[in-house]
Structure 1
Amino acid sequence: MASFFSRLNAKIRSRPMLSYVCSTHFWGPVSNFGIPLAAVMDTQKSADLISGQMTGALCIYSATFMRYALAVSPRNYLLFACHFVNEGAQLTQAYRWMQYHKWGGKEEAVKNKAEGAVGKIEGEVTKAVEKMKDAAGK
């Protein structure tokens, strides 16, 4: 049985593409792609849910591992791409956090919410007045 596995391993390692796909050099970044996918999906959520500290930590983490991906031998371009995407998503989140918390986005959101509520109330009052006019006319 052991000779079967050793022959199978030798066959896999004899082909460069199969050898690469069966290595941690490939599967590490592939499994790590969940982080940037989640980060990209989070860019569609409300800005008040963003953690500034976590976003900053993830920016540093991705920049560090982008550097690491190019420092190892052989260079791991798949790992670099994974962290490049994550870095872009985290910088987008950092900008959204700054816009919301530091540059007046929170006040603007509250103002828009209040204006929407006032508009809704005005609409309800207009409907009520119309109903009263109809009732008075009958």
Structure 2
Amino acid sequence: MAAAVKALNAKIRSNPVSDYLCSTHFWGPASNFGIPLAAVLDTQKDADIISGRMTLALAGYSAVFMRYSMMVTPKNYLLFGCHIVNFSAQMTQGYRYLKYWNFGGREASLEAQAKEGLGTVENKAKEALDKVKEQLPK
């Protein structure tokens, strides 16, 4: 049985493509792509749920691993791509965080919600008035 496993391993390692697909150089970044995918999807959510500390930590993490991916031998471009996507998404989230909490975004959001609520109240009042007018004798 050990000879069969050894032979299969030798066959896999003899082909450069299958050797790469069976290595940690491929599976590490491939499994890590969930982090940048989640970060990109989070850019569509409300800015009030962004954690500034976590955004900073993930941006630092990605910066470190972008450098690491270029320093290992052979260079791991898939890992670099994974972390540049994550770093970009974290920088976007950082911008959204600062804009919301430090540069008036929260106030603008609350003002827009208040105007929307006022418009809803006005519409409901007009509907109620119309119903009352319909019930009045003519």
Output aligned runs, 1:36-115, within 5 Å.
36-115=36-115
CA distance in 1, matches of 2:47, 2:105: 9
Q: Which amino acid aligns with 2:69?
A: A
- Residue 134 of structure 1 aligns to a residue in which SS? helix
The equivalent residue for 1:14 is 14
Q: Gaps spanning 5+ residues in structure 1: where?
A: none
TM-fit CA distance, 1:127: 1.3
Amino-acid identity (%) = 56
Distance in structure 1 (CA, Å) of the matches to 2:18 and 2:132: 78
CA RMSD of aligned residues (A): 0.9
Distance 1:20 1:62 in 2: 23
Question: Match for 1:36: what amino acid?
Answer: P
Give, in whole Å, the separation in 1 of the partners of 2:121 and 2:102: 31
Deviations 1:88-115 (A, max 9, x none): 1001100111111111111011111111
Distance 1:122 1:77 in 2: 57
After the TM superposition, list the runs of 4 or more consecutive aligned residues in structure 1 that deviate by more than 4 angstroms: none
TM-score w.r.t. structure 2 length? Answer: 0.97
Which secondary structure state, in structure 1, belongs to the residue aligned with residue 136 of structure 2? helix
CA distance in 1, matches of 2:80, 2:67: 8
Shift of 1:136: 1.7
1:124 shift after superposition: 1.1
Give TM-score, length-normalised by structure 1: 0.97
Deviation at 1:44, TM superposition (A): 0.8
